[in-house]
Every structure is written in structure tokens, then in C-alpha cells.
Amino acid sequence: MSKKTVLVTGANKGIGFGIAKHLGLSGWQVVIGARDEQRASKAISELKAQGIDVLGWVNIELKDLDGIEQAAKEISEKYPDLSLLVNNAGIPGDMSVDSEHTEISVIRETLDVNFIGTFALTKALIPLIAKNSGRIANVTVPSEISPYWHPLAYVASKAAQNAMMGVMAIEFQQSETPVEIFSVHPGPTTTDLNGNMALPGFHDIETVGQKFAELINDGQNHQGEFIELYPIVKED
């Protein structure tokens, strides 16, 4: 039986690296999506040193729609067996200000990358994933607003991603398209994105990567689901 192939965007660091590592350790062939060749090469060396089958990397800059089209063509030609897309890449926006003080330009940029770019890549790869009866997993956060953590640009961009997932899941079912799409909320995780915040209830990249891989390999259908690996714990 041939190995299964996954593309993880933003896989050179953070949660994306953890996901690529643990999917690789569980037998997947990994394609790295990254914006920078040097960082991609470093990640590939680290993954290969742990025995992971990394097929290569693809330059994916989510705010460059022409570049996404090119990347999708390259993926379809080089990795025709791709059966899992993990939409992990994203930017934080400005997490230090409240909504009243959030610049419109920051909202626009965050939506351009996290929603429009993610949608463009997903749209471009659906034909290949459908051919392989594959899956799309989005790394996201709940659309319901947490009283503890709610940076507007980021939360809005992920709410749009969740809407995309829900709509596509219904459409795939209605049209009997052999693609499964779902969203995964890792829960509070210590990463560069949040300035390596480490509060009670936070998990590390290893733990999240492992739990994500277990979910992917569980043999269940998760069409249209929003799955929380580690829900946000309410403070007393």
C-alpha cells in the first residue's frame, strides 16, 4: 500500500511543524508549505533527522494569489497522490490592541492571508483532493468569542475560515464530492504567534502535533465538524 501524502502550510515552525512531524512519524509522506526557502530547508533537515519522509517543499505565500495558483499547479504535478491538506499557515494581526484601536489595514491584511489566501489554496487543490478522495483540515479557533482572548483581526479571519468549512462540507455532501473538510482548534498553545505565551492550560507544540495526528489517523468521518483538541478552560 502506498504511503499517504499530506501538505501542511506554515510547516516550518510552530503548530505546523508539530503537525508535520507527528503525521510523518505516523507514516505520512510530508510536503512542507512555507514562505522562505531557508526556513523550509531547516525544517526539512530536522524532520528528516527524525526519520520522517519529507517529499519536498512548496513556496506558499497566502497573500499572493498568483503565487497560490502556481503552487497548486506544482503540487498537482509533483505530488499527484496528495490526499490531505492541512491549512495551518496564518498571521496574528495585531493582538495587542482592542477592536476600537485596530487599524483597518491590519483587518484587511489578516483577512487577506488567513481567509482569502486559505480559501484560494483550498479552492485550487479541491480537484486533486477529490481525485484522491481526500480531506482538508483547517487549524482554527472557535467563532464564539472568548471573554479571555479575542483579538479582532485574528478572530474575524478564523470565523470566516470556519464559515468556509461549514459551507463546503454541506456542498460536498450535497454534490457527493469525495472530499471531507473539518476544522481543528488546537486550544491554547505556546507558539511564536502569541509571543510564546505560556499560561496555565497552555500546551506545547509536541502535544498538539501528536493529538492532531491521532485525530487524522482515527479512521472516523469528521465532515463539517469543529473539533477542539484542548478547549479553552474558563478562568475562575
Q: What is the pLDDT of residues 115-137, one digit of tens each?
A: 999 999 999 999 999 999 999 99
* Torsion over CA: 191, 194, 197, 199 (sign): negative
* CA angle (115 as vertex; 209, 102 as ends), nearest 5: 100
Tell me the pTM. 0.93
pLDDT along the chain (236 residues), means of 10: 87 94 98 97 97 98 98 98 97 95 98 98 98 98 90 97 98 98 82 56 81 96 94 54
